[in-house]
Amino acid sequence: MSGAVLDGAATGEGDAAGDAATGESDVEGGTGAPVLAVSSLEKSFGDVVAVDDVTFQLAPAGSMAIVGESGSGKTTIAKMIVGLERPTAGSIVACGRDRSRPARSATQRRARGREVQIVFQDPYTSLDPRQTVEQALDEVVRLHHRLEPSTRRARVRALTELVGLDARQARALPRGLSGGQRQRVAIARALAAEPRILILDEAVAALDVSIQAQVLNLLADIREETGVSYVLISHDLAVVRQLTEETIVMRHGKVVERGATSRVLDAPQDPYTRLLLESVPRPGWRPARHLKARPETQKNGSAAADSVVGAPAAGRAAAATATATGTTAGSKGGGDT
């Protein structure tokens, strides 16, 4: 079983009744409660603080972006939400249940897998090369839901149709698909568990511009149809603008700015956010000339200027961000600390 679907789809049989066996009680309820609540979250690796006092909430059917340069702590937050890392401090409440610690049993892992799933950047390495698309989807449906074979096959067909794959592609192995088609499979596989939260960790960064646009439109349609909530981890500010409603900006593990996506991108308040936006490549844009033209940036931006403009991570972030025309730029850049 590949890493695209959490361990809830990797062991034993499962269905919604498994929730009762976890021994966990709801800590939040009511229709107005956030589907995800992160409070005072911290994560340290030895002396290195990767995430420092991060707090945010995600509304049901909402969408939030976490942006920042490589090493800002974005992917570490995602790993803690899905249970791949244990927080040093703070709490994570998903779907009304405390998920601050990784699951300890197969039943708990399956229950968590029906709440939160993640789609990684590289679809090829997150899929089993020996499984056809139908087999990969059937495995997740079978392990998460007790369905008759005919009903299960219908569910697999519905998933392939949801992500725009035809019958021939559904019978193909990953090596027989394009990059965009593989990412569609990864999305369908995550949705097979019927999660309420889907984390997209640079999920379109490795795709070319035209395929990015197709996958982004697909994701928007899926959210409208299913009501799933998105947490988007991205360097690409055009992707953030198109797909999310709220945005938080991180630097060195801390949140430096938050708010509605349109406000954060159009009228940023923090110097670091402004520097991120100014680092977006434009026609005729050259970093050296930009710095000479704006010497006050390093004064007013203080340490932020050194971090964004001078560090190699900033070069990768700029390469993955959008052009001034609003189109997206593909990138092979990976996740962060």
Q: Give 299's pLDDT tier (boundaries 50, 70, 90).
A: very low
Q: Which two tokens stand for residue 49?
A: 């603080």
* Span 86-98, average pLDDT: 94
**Residue 247 domain boundaries:** 7-268
The residue written with tokens 């779907």 in the block is 95
Chain-centre distance for alpha carbon 107:
24
Give the integer Cα–Cα distance in Å for 175 and 184. 14
- 54 pairs with which residues across the strands? 41
Residue at 65 is within a domain: yes
Q: What percent of the chain has pLDDT over 90?
A: 48
Would 300 be classed as within a structural domain?
no
Token digits of residue 109 = 């892992």
Which amino acid does the sequence have at 71? G
Q: Looking at residue 209, what is its pLDDT?
A: 80
Cβ 204 vs Cβ 239: under 8 Å: yes
Q: 333 falls in which pLDDT band (50, 70, 90)?
A: very low
Using an 8 Å Cβ cutoff, are 66 and 74 in contact? yes
Whether 30 is in a domain gets the answer yes
Measured distance CA(188)–CA(326) in Å, rounded: 27
**41-50, 205-214, 228-237, 267-276: least confident range:** 205-214
Tens digit of each residue's pLDDT (9 = 90 or more) over 3-15: 445 544 333 334 4
Q: In what order do the strands lie in the sheet with 97-98?
A: 48-58, 36-45, 89-94, 97-98
pLDDT number for residue 203:
84
- Structural domain contains residue 326: no
Number of domains comprising the chain: 1
- For the full predicted model, state whether its pTM sits above 0.85: no
* Of residues 55 and 310, more confidently modeled: 55
Q: What is the mean pLDDT of the chain?
A: 79
Is 327 part of any domain? no
pLDDT confidence tier of residue 39, bands split at 50, 70 and 90: very high
Crossing angle of helices 179-191/209-226, nearest 10°?
20
Q: For residue 209, give both structure tokens.
A: 């511009």
What is d(CA 214, CA 248) in angstroms, rounded to the nearest whole number? Answer: 25
Is residue 308 situated within a structural domain?
no
Q: Give bridge partners of residue 230 from the DSSP assignment.
A: 63, 198
Q: Mutual orientation of helices 133-144 and 149-162 as an angle, nearest 10°?
A: 120
Of the segments 96-100, 237-241, 255-259, which one has the largest average pLDDT value? 255-259
Structure tokens at 190: 């995550």
Asked whether residue 36 is assigned to any structural domain, the reply reads: yes
Q: Tokens for 76?
A: 């570490």
Q: What is the pLDDT of residue 287?
A: 62
Q: Which residue has the higher pLDDT, 196 or 305?
A: 196
The answer to whether residue 315 is domain-embedded is: no
pLDDT higher than 70, residue 23 = no
Q: Which neighbouring-strand residues pair with 58?
A: 36
Q: Which CATH number is 131's domain given? A: 3.40.50.300
Phi-psi group of 2: left, alpha or beta (phi > 0 → left; psi -120 to 50 → alpha; rest → beta):
beta
Report residue 288 as tokens: 């050296």
